[in-house]
Structure 1
Amino acid sequence: MIIMEIKASDNVLRMLEGAPKKLENGLKQAVNGMAREVKRDIYRGVRQRYTMRGSQFSQKDIRLRAASNAGLTAVLTIEGETPSLRKGFSARKNSGKMAARAQVLRGGGLKELKMKNGSVKAFVTGVQTGHRGVSHYDIFQRDTESGKYDGRLPIRTLSGPSRAKLSEKIFQELKEKKETELERRIWVLAESVMG
C-alpha cells in the first residue's frame, strides 16, 4: 500500500490566512481537482509505461480521499496484491533451451528469467491446488536460498512489481510539475476573489 498526498504549500496557506469563505471553498476545489488529475495521470502513466494487464490494475484501485475546508490535503491510496508475472504482465512459457520469459516495461522486449549465473531457469508448470483436477499454472523457479533439500529444491512463484510501486514511480515524476500547477491555480483564484 502506498499513500500520496496532494496539498497546497505552507507558504501559500500562511499568506491566505483570514481569507473569505469563498476562497476557502475555491482552495478545496483546486486541491481536489488536482488530485483527480493526478489520479488519472498515474493510471494512464502505468498503463502506457508497463505491460500490466487491465484486469490487474484499474482506476478503482486508486482511491481518493478528498480535501475538506478543515484540512486542505487530498490523499491517494493505492493498495492490492502483487501480481504474478504470468497473470499480471506479458509472459511466455519456457521452451527446450530457453527459460520462461516476461516483459514488465513496454518496448523492453521479453527477458529470459534465470539466475545471474544462468544455472537456475524459470519454468511454467501446473501445481496441484488440493482440489481434484484443479491445477494452478504460473511461472516458478527453484529456490536455491532455501535450507531445505531432499533431492529437489522447493519452488517459488515469480512475481512482478506491485501496482503501488509502479504508481509511486509515476507519481514521483509528476509531483513537481503538479505542485507548481496547483500553486499557479491557487494564485489565480486568490487574485480573482480578492480582486
Structure 2
Amino acid sequence: MSDDGKEAPDRLPGKLPDLKSVRDLSENELTVALRQFWWLHDARWYQGVKKRFGQEVANEINAEALRFVGRRVGTWYANTHGVPDGSSPAELAEAVAGLTRTMTTEQMMRSHVEEIGEESLETVVTEFFALRMLKAARSLEGYECPCLDMRGGWFEGLGVKVEETTVECMRTGGSACRFHTEVRREPHTEAQATAHAEVSAELPAEQAS
C-alpha cells in the first residue's frame, strides 16, 4: 500500500513461465516462481507493518527477520556445499555468490563478487527489484536496508566471522550497492554448530541431515 492509499505494484521483475500445467514445469521454473512469491510476501508484509505500526518498527522487524532467514540459508549452504575456507577469499566469494542465487534470481538482483585482497572481497549489486518496489510504493524514504543483517546471518550460518561495511548504497544515491567483507577468523565456529542444531531441530529428519 502506498502512502497515498494506492496499492503498490504486485508484479515482480522477470517473466514467469508461460502458462502450462504445473506438472509440466521444471524444478528450476518452480524454484524461480517460489523465490518471486516469497519476496512478494516480504514486500507486502513490510507495507502492512509500516501502515499499522510505523516505518521505524517495520525496519527493525524486517532486519530481524532477514537475519534469521539469512542464518538458516547460510547453515543450509554449509551443510549442502561444505563450509568455505575462511582464509580463502575465492572460496568465500563463491559461497556469497551461491547464497545470493539461493535467495534471488538474476532478474531480481544483478550482482557480482570479487576478491580485493588476501582476506577480503567486495560484493557489487547493480540492480535490486526491492528498491524499485519501495519507490513505487512511496516507501523508499525512511527505509533502512537490511542487507548487512541478511549477509550477517549468512556468515553466522557458514561459521565464518567477518567484518562488513557498506561502501556505497543505491538507496542513498549511489550508482551501486558495494559491500566490503574482511575475514576475521577461520570457519567451523561454535555459532555455526548452534545454528545447525537449531535448523536440525526445526526441519523434518530427511531435510535436517
Q: TM-score, normalised by structure 1?
A: 0.25
The structure with the larger Rg is 1
Q: Determine which structure has the larger strand proportion and give its number.
A: 1
Q: TM-score, normalised by structure 2?
A: 0.23
